[in-house]
Structure 1
Amino acid sequence: MREGSFARTAWPPIVLGLIVLLLWQGAVMVFEIKPFILPAPFQITSEFVDNFDTVLAGVIVTGRNALIGLVMGTIMGIVVAIIAALLRIADAMIAPIVAALAVVPIVALAPVLYTMFGAGAETARQLVAALAVFVPVFFNTVKGLRQVRPVHRDLMRSYAATSWQATRVVTLPTALPFVFTGLRIASSLAVISSLVAEYFGGPVGGLGRSITSSASSSNYGLAWAYVLGSIFLGLLFYCAALGLEKLVSRRSGG
């Protein structure tokens, strides 16, 4: 049943993707679309295979920065969310600041951080990713921590449960789905923000810099091969977050 359910879920997007790729290839051939406008999928695939080692090296650099930013942003988001959920006065002070951070443009922040930490360090890219991750994790965690109904709290008090027991039995299981929703959103944002930060300086390496250098040298097929590597990296992060959610839910009996 599970295999059949997986097949029914997986095949439709796969078939749709193949149809789109074939239409894309046909449109490029029929209308003779120039590579600088839109390369053909077969050309992108060929460049991806021929330059697999360099694409993989870029994936490793960008993926490492995104992972560090994801871990940092997630930890900070959960800790600050717990403080905001416990103390109303802290929530009143923190929420506006987080809302302001949510609209800080990466194009403005990345050059400033490169100036602060040096153009030869990866720190700026990691901090940009951490900031992008922090916002959705914070808001979703706060929402989850406040989903516990008063009747459930009253029930735990009637059982003379301690604060930790009430948190472990009621609050955390209720908040977990919201935390992982924020984490799934943040997993993709970590990759995207790391890529964007690479456009504005920093060490040579990473998918963002590779896309820029390939496009500037008119090697558009290779640039799109790096874009394909970015897509795979984003999917890897999202699937890892989803797999972690399934594992924790299964162990917690959810």
Structure 2
Amino acid sequence: MRPQIGSARAVAAPLILGIGALLIWQLTVMALDIKPFVLPSPVSIFTQFIDNVPTVWAASVVTGTNALIGLIVGGIVGVVSAVIAALLPIIDELSAGLVAALSVIPIVALAPVLYTMFGAAEETARQIVAAIAVFVPVYLNSLRGLRQVRPVHRDLMRATAATPWQATRVVTLPTATPFVFTGLRIASSLAVISALIAEYFGGPVGGLGKSITSAASSSNYALAWAYVLGSIILGLLFYSATLALEKLASRHRPSA
């Protein structure tokens, strides 16, 4: 009974807070007569969202597809690179500078360069931007997890004449799994944000970023915020999906 009460509170608390914040937002806009170009009201944003669900959905599919490809590619490369770095410390030392550079590279500078390389009519640049944003947290968290193996477990694998790959597969990877999913949860939101921001700087017409700028340039600020709402929902979906995968993996992970 108590777990059910705890789960209800976990859902109700943020829900009540969110409804309260929206009410304050709506009342503030009405009381102070705030102009739409400064801040539209939640009612007008929600109305535009409902009226333009097909276009919001179409834009979300474009951005979501690019973010998903970036999440998958960046996640796989990040985990594989972390495994190699854990097995070969020299690789870890050599790649430290590159990873640090990737973590601070500005999307505003990278996206236009990639559009020039791969063509302004291709989605490749947006997917690469998302993959780079995903790679860093996945790599760092995975590498940290791979270093959490207890010495006694390493000694046991050596005593059984296990190869480095066998030790990694049987002991190291299961220990690192929670850290990998922590990186993926962080990266899931970054993938959406990076793909969306990359849309501001060129590329094909489509996606939430392009839709936001088009609506804002047409002075339809409520519609622009409706697309922002769509991007928030998309980011939450990505985060929830990775969280669900983490819970599913934790159920099947053997206890230490």
Q: What is the TM-score normalised by the length of structure 2?
A: 0.96
Q: Could you say which residue in structure 2 is the equivalent of 1:186? A: 187
What residue is the counterpart of 2:135 in the other structure?
134
| Superposition map of 1:1-254 within 5 A | 1=1, 2-253=3-254
Mean Cα deviation higher: 243-252 or 227-236:
243-252
Distance in structure 1 (CA, Å) of the matches to 2:128 and 2:224: 25
How far apart, in 1, do the equivalents of 2:168 and 2:87 lie? Answer: 12
Amino acid at match of 1:147: Q
Give the length in aligned residue pairs: 254
Matches of 1:4 and 1:240 in 2, distance apart?
24
Cα deviations by residue, 1:148-198 (Å, 9 ceiling, x for unpaired): 121221133335545444333321121001100100000000000000000
Distance of 1:117 and 1:51 partners within structure 2: 32
Task: Report SS of the residue matched to 2:201.
Answer: coil
Aligned sequence identity (%): 69
Residue 143 of structure 1 aligns to a residue whose secondary structure is helix
Residue identity opposite 2:119 in structure 1 = G
CA distance in structure 2 between the aligned counterparts of 1:207 and 1:64, rounded to whole angstroms:
12
C-alpha distance in structure 1 between counterparts of 2:179 and 2:6, whole Å: 25
Return the alpha-carbon distance in structure 2 between the equivalents of residues 131 and 159 of structure 1: 39
What is the CA deviation profile of residues 130-163 of structure 1, one whole-angstrom value per residue up to 9, with x for unaligned ones? 0000010111111110111212211333355454
Distance 1:88 1:159 in 2: 23
Looking at structure 1, the residues matched to 163 and 87 of structure 2 have their Cα atoms a distance apart, in angstroms, of: 16
Give the distance between the partners of 2:119 and 2:156, measured in 1 at CA: 55
CA distance in 2, matches of 1:53, 1:115: 31
Structure 2 Cα separation of the partners of residues 57 and 227 of structure 1: 14
- Rounded to whole Å, the distance in 1 between the matches of 2:248 and 2:123 is 31
Q: What is the distance in 1 between the residues matched to 2:160 and 2:85? A: 27
5+ residue gaps, structure 1: none
Give, as a single letter, the amino acid of the residue that structure 2 aligns with 1:180: F
Q: How many Å separate the matches in 2 of 1:88 and 1:253?
A: 28
Q: What TM-score comes out, normalization by structure 1 length? A: 0.97
Over 6 Å off, 4+ runs: none
> Counterpart amino acid of 2:155?
D
SS of residue matched to 1:199: helix
Q: Unmatched 5+ residue regions in structure 2? A: none
